[in-house]
Amino acid sequence: MTVESIADCFSNNYQVLVAFGLTLFAGLSTGIGSAIAFFAKKTNTKFLSVSLGFSAGVMIYVSFVEIFFKAKDILIVEHGLQHGYLLTLLAFFSGMILIAVIDKLVPSFENPHEIKMVEEMKDQPAEITKKNKLYRMGMLSAFAIAIHNFPEGLATFVAALQDLSLGIPIALAIAIHNIPEGIAISVPIHHATGSKRKAFKFSFLSGLAEPIGAIVGYLLLMPFMSDSLFGFLFGAVAGIMVFISIDNLLPAAREYGEPHLSIYGLIAGMGLMAISLLLFSW
């Protein structure tokens, strides 16, 4: 084995590990939401609204300005202008359809993006606080979030594997997105069982679906990986993130009661993403 091949092997393994680390960080941010639910006396709606809007801004901007066009460039090189562009469009909408189908399969009662407040830890009327119902809701929320997080993990991993300048802000955006999901799991389970440990455990485990999605995707796809498949996956990542932003993040930000702040966060996320990409290009 030559020095150059050893260096290439180390470089590839290092990039895989970094991409996986970013995906792990994003997924386990559900634990931050769980901790907020335990220690905060009141939900900071302004902070959550801005943060969720910011996350949406990062993902929408990077999807339309960077990821979509990188996928298009790769596929055009491999398949020519017309076929390459058509494959990019197919990949983009395939990603949206995939996450939409997953979202549709989760009943609205168990939908992980249903807003939960820290205040819901306090005593509620008896018809709401029946322990079995709350525990079931928390467990179903954990399961539903795990299902949603699986393709998100693959999206974060693929983006980081292709370009760390894209992977880092995407991982941060996904992490912000996962914080209220951690609250959605912790609130009902803690209220039903009285156990912070159990509530945190299920919140933590649901976040593991993201790095698991990355591992499964890597093991299944890497043996068959080609420029064409990578370009298609990259286009699908753009579709997944746009759908998450429009269908989940922005509505959730507005439900926290701060619609204008969510838009300010959206613009700030786009602006910061634009500046960071500009700096990385120099």
Give 27-82 pLDDT, tens digit per residue. 888 888 787 767 766 666 777 788 888 888 988 998 999 889 989 999 999 999 99
Residues 269/173, Cβ–Cβ less than 8 Å: yes
DSSP 126: T
Residues 16/164, Cβ–Cβ less than 8 Å: no
What is the rounded distance in angstroms from the CA atom of residue 218 to the CA atom of residue 258?
39
Q: With 80 as the cut, is the pLDDT of residue 10 above it?
A: no
Q: What is the mean pLDDT of residues 175-188?
A: 78
pLDDT of residue 2: 46
Domain count, the chain: 1
Q: With 80 as the cut, is the pLDDT of residue 263 above it?
A: yes
Does the residue 197 lie in any domain?
yes
Residue 200 domain boundaries: 65-281
Q: What is the mean pLDDT of residues 141-154?
A: 76
pLDDT range class, residue 16, cuts 50, 70, 90: confident
Does the residue 9 lie in any domain?
no
Residue type for position 220:
L
What is the rounded distance in angstroms from the CA atom of residue 183 to the CA atom of residue 212?
21
Does the residue 1 lie in any domain?
no
CA geometry: angle 14, 269, 248, nearest 5 deg: 90
Does the residue 50 lie in any domain?
no
Residues 142/135, Cβ–Cβ less than 8 Å: no
Does the residue 69 lie in any domain?
yes
In the chain, the percentage of residues whose pLDDT exceeds 70 is 79
Does the residue 143 lie in any domain?
yes
- The whole-model pTM stands at 0.73
Residues 210/26, Cβ–Cβ less than 8 Å: yes
Does the residue 223 lie in any domain?
yes
Q: Rounded mean pLDDT of the chain?
A: 79
Does the residue 41 lie in any domain?
no
Q: With 60 as the cut, is the pLDDT of residue 17 above it?
A: yes
Cα distances from 113 to residues 32, 38, 45, 108, 267, in angstroms, run: 16, 19, 15, 9, 22
Residues 199/51, Cβ–Cβ less than 8 Å: no
pLDDT of residue 226: 85
Alpha helix ranges (H) inside the chain: 3-27, 30-39, 45-62, 68-79, 81-105, 131-162, 164-193, 196-207, 209-221, 227-244, 250-255, 259-281
Q: What is the mean pLDDT of residues 136-163?
A: 77
